[in-house]
Amino acid sequence: MLRVFTLLTLFFAVVVSGAYAQQTVSGKVFGELNDPLPGVSVVIAGTTQGTITDLNGEYKISVDGDSPSLMFSFIGYENQSVEVGGRSVVDITMVTDVKSLDEVVVTAFGVEQKKKALGYAVQQLDSKELMESQQSNVVNALQGRVAGVQINSSSGQPGSGSSIIIRGITSLNPSANNQPLIVVDGIVMSNATDVPDILPSSGSNAANSAEQGSSTNRMADINPNDIESLNVLKGAAAAALYGVRAANGAIIITTKSGKAGKTVVNFSATQGWDVLGNRPELQEKYREGRYGRLRFNSDGSPLRFQTQGPKVREGTEIYDNIENFFETGRRQEYNISAQGGTEQARFFTSIGRLDQSGITPESDWARTTFRLRGDITASDKLTIRSAISYTNSGGNKALSGDKSIMSSMSYMTNSFDVTDYINPDGSMKDYSDGIIDNPLYLAKYAKYTDDVNRISGNVGFNYKITPWLSADYTIGLDQYNDNRNRFMPPGLDGTSQTGGFIVDANIGRREINSNFLLTATVDLTEDLNASLTLGQQVIDINSRSTTRRGEGFLFSDFNDIDNTSNLFGSDNKSQYRQVGFFFDAKANYKGIVYLGVTGRNDISSSLSEENNSYFYPAVNLGLIFSEFLSSNQILSYGKVRASWAQVGKDAAPHLIGFTYSGASGFPFDGANGFRKSSVAGDVNLKPETTTSFEIGTDLRFINNRLSLDATYYVQNSTNMITNVPLSNSTGLSRYTTNAGEIENKGIELMLNAEVIKTSAFTWDMNMNWSKNEATVISVADGIDEIEVYNEGKSEIIYKLVPGGKVGDLYGNTMARTEDGQVIIGSDGFPQRATDPETGALAISKIGNAIPDFIAGWNNRISYKGISLSALLEWRKGGDVMDMALINGQRNGIWKDTERRFEDVIFAGVKNVGTAESPVYEDNDIVARLDDGGNTYRASWLAYVGENTLQDASWLRLRTVTLGYQLPSTLINKVGLTSARITFTGNNLFVNTPYKGYDPESNYFGSGSNIVGFTGMTVPGTKSYLVTLNLKF
């Protein structure tokens, strides 16, 4: 009893003392202008207990203890901690959080400049943003994050290529380079997507060969973990100093460097899984055959590949061959780096290893990287820098196009199991009488491998000649060697003409850059300062491509070029040299008005002496108008900017005149023979010219916690280097000359906000939106249009027509009345539109492949050691044709072909008059589906272009990242200074009206400008990754 009494006494004592210690604190919060601030967060320090101020800036909160502290926080103001000290009333005045407006970005030739001094648009991503999505290809890390930039992925397999388009396509030539210049630590690096000829010399059964869809863009050789920052120079004025190679903009990458102090070691390990993303639905009602029978005809002619047979009987096993074929891809990546040094010498070094397997069997890609960078401060005047990197990458890829894995998948009937693919003797099980290969057999026995070795490096110095004059020099090398092997064994549909074939290809490229800059900076008056940079750049590029082909295997499974009976070969070499002289003059008045004027003269080896020297000027102006406004709490900073610039784009080597190649059958009787090309180039060829005008504004609100950047631009590309089609009577197929004009104009918006900022909780938001419209002003004289690509089967044609838009797709349509109603024929099926004069199919514009706009919305939330980020990407518009879907509809495997063997009345009108004087009434004619050969694909869908085009709009959850920073009190005990675990998901959700696989993949790969076609490439994936980062 005494023990109970004692416990009760202690309990009441605690309660009473606690009640006595509690007190209510109230007060009012003011801004710097003595105005009340509503919405201010008031939190008891060390807890989550808090409140916010009301409309009058007043608050009330209960606190415990003798001397608690209150944390006050509000957007645009510094966080303040105030000790209560026994007071019942605590009033405070918030202090403006003056965030620095002197954000530094890296511009041309690695020059760091304050962003406020620029008269053109530049956007910077730091290492944290680049690594959020854990992309192995740094190009894909830009998806949804940069206004005005479109990233196009070629497929979902490891090592697949991706392209970068800034502010639209600027060339009429489908093979022209429309991608930006890539500069790493001041040295240009190739981002080429090399596409060797890997078809056999005697041709292929492939109707549409698109092997470029399986090639890697060379920017994938860069380890994203080594990047410190990435700056996108979007307009011509931003990239003008780089001359003709930066007509499409530039991306400036700065790698990590050493810092003085204790050596810091970082280690990261990532484990990932890839699974198939969006997929089409398969029909399960009908099995293989045609005309509703298991065989073609009643006479017992052989089974083909169509799935247009009888209904599936109860108890018959049906296979989901999409589910059965694709695998779970896996990824392992390890990176370790060290950095440190003294004030005089600093270093950074890293080693990385990435291994990926794809969702298609036997596909993989690996990358090993090494980087070493050093900086030496030799004296107050001299600094020396150097860097070297090595990359080995490659793997086995699934080919794209007709006769590929994905092509075969679009034929695979549901009554055959894709995994039952091989006979006891090792040959392929053939379910289609030699028409279609089994995709799993293709994946396992038909190989396409690449092995790339790349080395790059640079050495340079900066010397301060006087306090106002400095010299800077850098020389750099970028060199790679790419070995490809394609092995196609006999017994496949794609090798029926050759008895198997092997292609060995070797691609080599070496580029040397030499950059010299002399910079003078002077104060002309107390309020006016200026700088002038004079520079020279020398570029030397050597390229080669060697291909050996062998056909007719002696041993079916031996991958060696000597295992063939017919050998063929080709060897191509080119050399290109460019010398550029440039100046960059800048002036600023009181840090309010900024003016920049640049000019560059390039001399190119790829043009004739009469046309190989050309000059391009640029000017930009910025005005910080907020300096003229009275201080206020709304607008913290305001700037308007404008720029005008001209840049060029010269020709690739060997475009002038004719080229000659070795002729087949030679040497003959000791004499060599050569074949003249069927394409000739204008000897007076000139560089293309792009003239750009840009205007924009940068606004910062609420003490820079909210910012808006807006840009409008117009750029006209003229004198484009174009392949003009010619009549066969000329003896040439095409003629390369200057012709045509394209105008790109668009809007870019960026909104950034620190929505919430307290000592424990932050919420940052970034939004971007961009729209580009490219108009074809003209093509070559005497030419009505340029046909870029004709699909053929469904009459989908991508062509450039004066007055039209880049990306316009043309095709056949349904016949319609003047008010748009579909005309139904006497057989009850919709009719195709024809030319009234010739009777041929009528071709008209049916869509456009370019998105109406692209937007990204990224949110980052952190609470103590936990962080969460989510990136949404929205593409509105953009029409595509899915070639795999066309095959699947024709062959009857997709869900939308289930409607069969029934009578239907198609919506539309019938003609009860004559052809000359039509009279239309509502259709009531009954049509029989799949009767007399009227299959789903071959009749009322009937290769009509408008029916095969799809809207590829999407809203996708591009990236979600959840991270946890382990407490320092825990990790310090084991010798760590930081430990973080991160969970990442990519493409977890895609909402699209598109019916096939993920519409993001481009059929023609990252090395082509052909747009509007997808399918026949490995589809996109969902990715799940977990990463551990340790710092020692």
pLDDT computed for residue 875 by the predictor: 96
pLDDT tens sequence across 528-554: 999 999 999 999 999 999 988 888 888
Of 562, 135, 975, 840, whose CA–CA distance to 125 is shortest?
135
pLDDT tens sequence across 426-476: 888 877 767 788 899 999 999 999 999 999 999 999 999 999 999 999 999
What confidence tier does 865 reach under pLDDT thresholds 50, 70, 90?
Answer: confident
Query: Furthest-apart CA pair in the chain: how many Å?
Result: 123
CA atoms within 13 A on the CB side of 609: 0
pLDDT at 9 over 50: no
Query: Cα separations (Å) of 77 from 71, 701, 814, 918?
Result: 12, 12, 63, 75
Phi, psi of 324, deg, nearest 5 = -75, -25
Burial 393-408 (b: 16+ CB within 10 A, else e): bbbbbbbbbbbbbbbb
pLDDT computed for residue 732 by the predictor: 80
Domain positions in the chain: 2-93, 108-277+328-399+446-665+672-807+849-878+955-1031
pLDDT computed for residue 5 by the predictor: 40
pLDDT computed for residue 102 by the predictor: 62
User: Which residue in the block uniquely carries the two structure tokens 């200057």?
Assistant: 738
What confidence tier does 16 reach under pLDDT thresholds 50, 70, 90?
Answer: very low
**Residue 1015 neighbours by CB distance under 10 Å:** 25
Query: Cα separations (Å) of 58 from 39, 45, 908, 985?
Result: 9, 19, 69, 43
Percent of the chain exceeding pLDDT 90 equals 49
pLDDT computed for residue 781 by the predictor: 84
Task: Return d(Cα 615, Cα 599) in angstroms, integer.
Answer: 7
Average pLDDT score over residue span 308-331: 91
Per-chain mean pLDDT for the chain = 87
Task: Return d(Cα 1016, Cα 930) in angstroms, integer.
Answer: 27
What confidence tier does 136 reach under pLDDT thresholds 50, 70, 90?
Answer: very high
What confidence tier does 823 reach under pLDDT thresholds 50, 70, 90?
Answer: very high
pLDDT computed for residue 98 by the predictor: 54
Question: 108-277+328-399+446-665+672-807+849-878+955-1031: what CATH class?
Answer: mainly beta
Which has more confidence, 788 or 111? 788
Task: Decide whether 2-93 matches 108-277+328-399+446-665+672-807+849-878+955-1031 in CATH topology.
Answer: no
pLDDT tens sequence across 549-597: 888 888 888 888 888 888 888 888 999 999 999 999 999 999 999 999 9
pLDDT computed for residue 75 by the predictor: 66
pLDDT computed for residue 59 by the predictor: 92
pLDDT tens sequence across 268-303: 999 999 999 999 999 899 888 877 777 655 555 556
Q: Which amino acid is at 78?
A: E
Of 608-622, 654-668, 786-800, 835-849, minimum mean pLDDT range: 654-668
pLDDT computed for residue 202 by the predictor: 55
Task: Return d(Cα 208, Cα 503) in angstroms, integer.
Answer: 19
pLDDT computed for residue 14 by the predictor: 39
Exposed / middle / buried, residue 433 (Cβ in 10 Å: 0-12, 13-18, 19+): exposed
Q: State the DSSP string of 736-780.
A: EEE--EEEEEEEEEEEEEEEEE-SSEEEEEEEEEEEEEEEEEE-S
pLDDT computed for residue 794 by the predictor: 65
What confidence tier does 68 reach under pLDDT thresholds 50, 70, 90?
Answer: confident
Task: Return d(Cα 768, Cα 763) in angstroms, integer.
Answer: 17
pLDDT tens sequence across 42-56: 888 877 677 888 878
CA atoms within 13 A on the CB side of 301: 8
| 929 contacts 904 by C-beta, under 8 angstroms | yes
pLDDT computed for residue 932 by the predictor: 55
Of 623, 671, 688, 665, whose CA–CA distance to 245 is shortest?
688
| 432 contacts 411 by C-beta, under 8 angstroms | yes
Which has more confidence, 1017 or 400? 1017
pLDDT tens sequence across 468-505: 999 999 999 999 999 999 998 888 877 777 788 899 99
pLDDT at 221 over 90: yes
Q: What angle do CA 278, 282, 288 make, to 5 degrees?
A: 145
Average pLDDT score over residue span 830-835: 88
Residues facing 436 on adjacent strands: none
User: Which residue in the block uniquely carries the two structure tokens 């020059």?
Assistant: 111
Average pLDDT score over residue span 638-665: 84
| 724 contacts 787 by C-beta, under 8 angstroms | no
Indicate the Cα dihedral angle 403, 407, 408, 411, nearest 10°: -130
**DSSP category for residue 301:** P
pLDDT at 869 over 90: yes
pLDDT computed for residue 941 by the predictor: 59
User: Which residue in the block uniquely carries the two structure tokens 């989901």?
Assistant: 320
Of 386-390, 493-497, 569-573, 1019-1023, minimum mean pLDDT range: 493-497
What confidence tier does 327 reach under pLDDT thresholds 50, 70, 90?
Answer: very high
**DSSP category for residue 280:** P
pLDDT at 961 over 50: yes
- Which residues have CB under 8 Å from 671's CB, separation 6+? none
Task: Return d(Cα 384, Cα 376) in angstroms, integer.
Answer: 5
pLDDT at 12 over 70: no
pLDDT computed for residue 147 by the predictor: 95
CATH code, residues 2-93: 2.60.40.4130
Q: Which amino acid is at 303?
A: L
Average pLDDT score over residue span 940-948: 72
Phi, psi of 891, deg, nearest 5 = -90, -5
pLDDT computed for residue 714 by the predictor: 97
Of 228-242, 267-281, 788-802, 924-938, minimum mean pLDDT range: 924-938
Which has more confidence, 434 or 1008? 1008
pLDDT tens sequence across 730-777: 778 788 888 899 999 999 999 999 998 877 788 999 999 999 999 999
Which has more confidence, 393 or 501? 393
pLDDT at 699 over 70: yes
Record the tokens describing residue 285, joined without a space.
């009602």
| 725 preceded by a cis bond (ω within 30 of 0) | no
pLDDT computed for residue 67 by the predictor: 67
Record the tokens describing residue 870, joined without a space.
């989510």
pLDDT computed for residue 747 by the predictor: 97
Task: Return d(Cα 530, Cα 597) in angstroms, integer.
Answer: 11
Record the tokens describing residue 658, joined without a space.
């004719």
Of 78-82, 463-467, 615-619, 806-810, minimum mean pLDDT range: 78-82
